[in-house]
Amino acid sequence: MDAKALAEGIQAGRLDDDALKAGFSDLHPNLDGHEALVAADRCYFCHDAPCITACPTDIDIPLFIRQIATGTPEAAAKTILDQNILGGMCARVCPTETLCEEACVREAAEGKPVQIGRLQRYATDTLMAAGVHPFDRAEATGKTVAVVGAGPAGLACAHRLAMKGHDVVIYDARPKAGGLNEFGIAAYKSTDEFAAREVDWLLQIGGITVETGKAMGRDISLSDLRDRFDAVFLGIGLGGVNALGAPGEDKDGVLDAVDFIADLRQASDLAALPVGRDVVVIGGGMTAVDAAVQSKLLGALNVSIVYRRGQDRMNASVFEQELAASKGVRIITNASPVAVHGNGAVREIEFEYTDDQLQPTGQTFRLAADQVMKAIGQTLEGDDLPALEGRKIAVTGAGRTSVDGVWAGGDCASGGDDLTVTAVAEGRDAAEDIHSSLMG
């Protein structure tokens, strides 16, 4: 790419430090004490609360809100963390608008639910700021468990097992623990290195060793872990990214959205991150929105999300779609990529409109693009794995796989939504089942 193209296309430092700081500030700042009391006062404390049913981790939401209302946020945090040890991060990234808050009686009656997510953050942040870990480790059982993957499922599983008295070793391929919480979500959703601080706080339970830079198939194998440990939990996530299947996708400037987000999350200087002038993100989920919005916040002039189905079929919630629109991101639907054009580097990407059955209509259009990001789903990677169901590890009950003594949960396992809160629930439940199995 020549100097003129570089100057007009992908480059760093499009915005000054003040603009970057404002754009990447906390999306939902924490409530102060008075705001939390006012928000808690709106809860009806329903006896048969539909919000509990809507929560994948079954948090007793009316109870913790009542505890906030009575001035005991630390007790509220304990109620939350009993069910969801990563309640702090889930309060930040959970699509509460389609889970607990959508089920809130206030939402049905007034169209304005109780701010459950922000109240959850207020409680958990209060407890963590006090440096308190409210759980005690049981007497050592002498049993050892290997957990592969230090993401939400693996961390939740490890904490529950350690609390039961088992010794746990977590292996993760990346240089830091946290999984998608650390590497895979928009920086404005988790500021001030909260993901890393939450991991450090979780490890205060004791009995957990974390070994980073250890990948399945390269450094460790399932058969070896089965020989050395009493049980194994797989929370390896989805490491691969689906291909576009369009000619030219190997051109410079075509990248995976998850890599872009990971690089941004680990960057010490946002101004040093290069971003395109014309960015096109292909996909319709949270990853697509996170990549598109952050491209705009880094200074991209034109950012478009292109999705093959209708907007009502997008996996990203309505809130996320509206957030993207509010930042100037254009959303184009019912269109699939057919070719990437350019001489070495991408200059345009061609799409064909599709009907409601995803059949091509013959009508095409092109978008100028110097950066194209793929956010069209991730795939399971690895050999020597238990039996698969489709493209994920098949599980029954609380995460039992086809291999004796091996459990799985989170994005790599069949069933459930690919959400942080769902991964936490699956890791927690698998830990309970592992404990029952180990203790007879």
Within 13 Å, how many C-alpha atoms sit on residue 438's CB side? 24
Give domain 33-129's CATH architecture. Orthogonal Bundle (1.10)
- Residue 72 CA to residue 177 CA, distance in Å, equals 31
- Architecture, CATH, for domain 144-239+380-438: 3-Layer(bba) Sandwich (3.50)
Domain boundaries 242-377, corresponding CATH code = 3.50.50.60
Instruction: Say yes or no to pLDDT of 377 above 70.
Output: yes
Q: What confidence tens digit (pLDDT) does each residue in 204-222 have?
A: 999 999 999 999 989 999 9
Residues 6+ apart with CB under 8 A from 358: 308, 309, 336
Question: pTM of the prediction?
Answer: 0.95
Tell me the pLDDT tens digit for each residue of 303-353: 999 999 999 999 999 999 999 999 999 999 999 999 999 999 999 999 999
Domains 33-129 and 242-377 share a fold: no
What pLDDT was estimated at residue 3?
Answer: 42
Judge whether residue 254 has pLDDT over 60.
Answer: yes
**Domain definitions of the chain by residue range:** 33-129, 144-239+380-438, 242-377
For residue 8, what pLDDT is reported? 61
User: pLDDT class for 418, splitting at 50, 70, 90?
Assistant: confident
Q: What is the mean pLDDT of residues 385-398?
A: 95
Instruction: Give dist(CA 408, CA 427) in Å, integer.
Output: 8
- Percentage of the residues of the chain whose pLDDT score is greater than 70: 98
Q: Answer with the residue of higher pLDDT: 382 or 432.
A: 432
Residue 283 confidence (pLDDT) above 80 = yes
> Is residue 167 scored above 90 in pLDDT?
yes
Give the mean pLDDT of 52-64.
97
Least confident stretch, 124-133, 209-218, 376-385:
376-385
> What's the mean pLDDT when you consider all of the chain?
95
